[in-house]
Amino acid sequence: MMKKDLRSLPYEQLKNAVTEFGGQKYRADQIYRWMHVQGADDFDAMTNVPKDLLSKLSETYEIFRLKKETVQISQIDGTRKYLFALHDGNMIESVFMRYEHGNSVCVSSQAGCNMGCRFCASTIDGKARDLTAGEMLGQIYGIMEDTGEKISNVVVMGSGEPLENYVNLIAFIEMLTDEKGLHLSQRNLTVSTCGLVEKIRELSAHAYQLTLAISLHAATDEKRKALMPIANRYPLAELIGACRDYFEKTGRRITFEYALIKGENDTEEDAQALRDLIAGLNCHVNLIPVNPVPGRNYHQSEKNAVLAFKNKLEKNHINVTIRREMGRDIDGACGQLRRRFAAHFQETQL
């Protein structure tokens, strides 16, 4: 039988598991603390918990471990890009960034991705599998251990579509913000999605205070379909409707991500279409010079085009920033490290 990931059980579920195996409730507190405060990923570390309880638990559960495979450190800004091996051999990436307001970790939610966005490297080989909540947390714990530093912000913007891994995402959010664990403020968490409308609506019902980021990248259905297959499933009108409701329910301003691609979506007409699309919505637009991905013919917009695009939005009182590119020298674009590792691995296997 495949064992389950103990680190993926939110506190209440862990308590049920522990009492089911005859343990007292406070043992669940101890075990939870070991995994989510002390960063233990091994039953043997839990020295204050009776051995027979641990051995019973270990018949059904294990802790899905992450092994640091490589870390690349940017000489420019200290950004660290990690490649972790999962217990079944799948590889995922996570990124550590230092900002003035604190340290930030970018977490992957799936090994690979099925969404097929044309400019994204993570999706080229499709999705291997969803990550468990514990594996999402494990990326943060692993980076904390490696750097010895505190993490104050988490963005679910690595490989994968978090809202396609919805149940695990919710457990991850609950545990990350649980006072019994890292106790991250919901306001310091961002979840980025290509726009699964039903799931955005489901998420809004939780009324979490997290930031929802929408990968928009185009302001008309026609242009968006050319970049993102998901646009065939959800027209922009529906997506923006869900965003408006999200704001109504949560009071949280939406972030729109817009990767500027030369000649594709970066003209003043494009900016105008974007303005019309999001008019009257409490939001923020994050402009990102697209990261060129090998094998895909997309180029970054010229500086002038970027500034003109930004000005156009600002003139219309839209809140806009140009995202600083972190770690340009260490495989910036999403999914590139994982792909390079896979290629290297295949080469060395030959």
Shortest Å, Cβ 219 to ligand SAH: 15
Residue 161 sits in the site that holds ligand SAH (CB under 6 A) = yes
Nearer to ligand SAH, 131 or 288 (CB): 288
Residues 238-297 contacting ligand SAH, CB under 6 A:
257, 259, 288, 290-291, 293
Binding mask 208-227 for ligand SAH (x = CB under 6 A): -------x------------
Distance from chain centroid for Cα 107: 4
Catalytic residue among 93, 135, 161, 164: 93
334 has catalytic annotation? yes
Shortest Å, Cβ 293 to ligand SAH: 5
Nearer to ligand SAH, 137 or 293 (CB): 293
User: What's the angle, vertex CA 309, arms to CA 306 and CA 314, rounded to 5?
Assistant: 125
Nearer to ligand SAH, 80 or 199 (CB): 199
Q: Which residue has the tokens 């950004």?
A: 79
Shortest Å, Cβ 284 to ligand SAH: 13
Residues 120-139 contacting ligand SAH, CB under 6 A:
120
For ligand SAH, which stretch binds (CB under 6 A), given 96-104, 145-153, 191-199, 240-248?
A: 191-199
347 has catalytic annotation? no
Residue 157 sits in the site that holds ligand SAH (CB under 6 A) = yes
Residue 194 sits in the site that holds ligand SAH (CB under 6 A) = yes
Shortest Å, Cβ 341 to ligand SAH: 18
Nearer to ligand SAH, 31 or 227 (CB): 227
CA distance 8 to 293: 33
Shortest Å, Cβ 316 to ligand SAH: 22
Residue 46 sits in the site that holds ligand SAH (CB under 6 A) = no
Residues 6+ apart with CB under 8 A from 200: 163, 193, 212, 239, 242, 243, 246
**Active-site residue list:** 93, 334
> What does the binding site for ligand SAH look like in residue numbers (CB under 6 A)?
115, 117, 119-120, 157, 161, 192-194, 215, 257, 259, 288, 290-291, 293, 333-334
